[in-house]
């Protein structure tokens, strides 16, 4: 409470606590400041950090484009884990199945990888196939701290050819949706 946290670092850390959010050690974008010497009682104001990402709100045009009633690109979130297979990726990429279900075709996949971007090899092969069919693949780590560096993920010391992000998997999904929306 009494804090504004930057979007990149903020995360919900407790299901029921009033102060349920944390910013992973990043500085606050703003803090609520009390001034008990104010005339007429306590004055409450926000103190914004000068270098805060929150100090540069999106333009009115950008907000209008995001709020316009348009179909958002379909981006799904997957986990890499022991015994993972490529079956789910294949099913998600099935355009005939998507049409039968009345959902748009898959445009992107975000994979929550273990550690420093490690993927199960069967999942990796299916992701390469999806990428060759035009599906954007983005790798994020499942680790709570220390996101992946932007660039390409590495497994066992070799580059896999997938884009990576330092965002959490859930934030990476929304980020990829926004990127794809801008491309449309």
Considering the domain 64-183 in this protein, what is its CATH number? 3.40.50.40
Per-residue confidence (pLDDT) for residue 157, from 0 to 100: 42
Burial class (CB in 10 A: 0-12, 13-18, 19+), 58: exposed
Half-sphere exposure in the Cβ direction for 149 (13 Å, CA):
4
Tokens describing residue 15: 């299901």
* First CA to last CA distance, the chain: 38
Q: For residue range 98-135, what is the model confidence (pLDDT) as tens digits? A: 999 999 999 999 999 998 888 999 999 999 999 999 99
Listed by start position, the domains of the chain span 3-57, 64-183
pLDDT bin (cut points 50, 70, 90) of residue 181 is confident
Per-residue confidence (pLDDT) for residue 60, from 0 to 100: 82
> To which residue do tokens 């994979």 refer?
111
Cβ atoms of 151 and 164 closer than 8 Å: yes
DSSP 65: H
- Average pLDDT taken over every residue of the chain: 83
Q: Which residues neighbour 127 within 8 Å (Cβ) at sequence distance 6 or greater? A: 86, 89, 109, 111, 119, 137, 162
């Amino acid at each position: 409470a009494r804090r504004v946290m930057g979007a990149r670092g903020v995360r919900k850390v407790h299901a029921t606590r009033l102060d349920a959010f944390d910013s992973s050690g990043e500085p606050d974008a703003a803090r609520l400041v009390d001034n008990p010497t104010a005339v007429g009682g306590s004055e409450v104001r926000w103190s914004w950090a000068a270098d805060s990402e929150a100090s540069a709100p999106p333009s009115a045009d950008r907000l209008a484009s995001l709020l316009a009633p348009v179909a958002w690109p379909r981006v799904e979130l997957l986990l890499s884990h022991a015994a993972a297979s490529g079956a789910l990726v294949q099913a998600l990429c099935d355009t005939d199945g998507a049409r039968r279900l009345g959902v748009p075709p898959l445009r992107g996949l975000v994979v929550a990888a273990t550690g420093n971007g490690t993927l199960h090899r069967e999942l990796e092969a299916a992701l390469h196939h999806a990428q060759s069919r035009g599906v954007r693949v983005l790798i994020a780590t499942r680790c709570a701290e220390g996101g992946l560096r932007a660039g390409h993920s590495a497994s066992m010391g070799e580059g896999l050819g997938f884009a990576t992000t330092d965002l959490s998997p859930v934030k990476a999904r929304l980020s990829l949706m926004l990127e794809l929306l801008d491309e449309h």
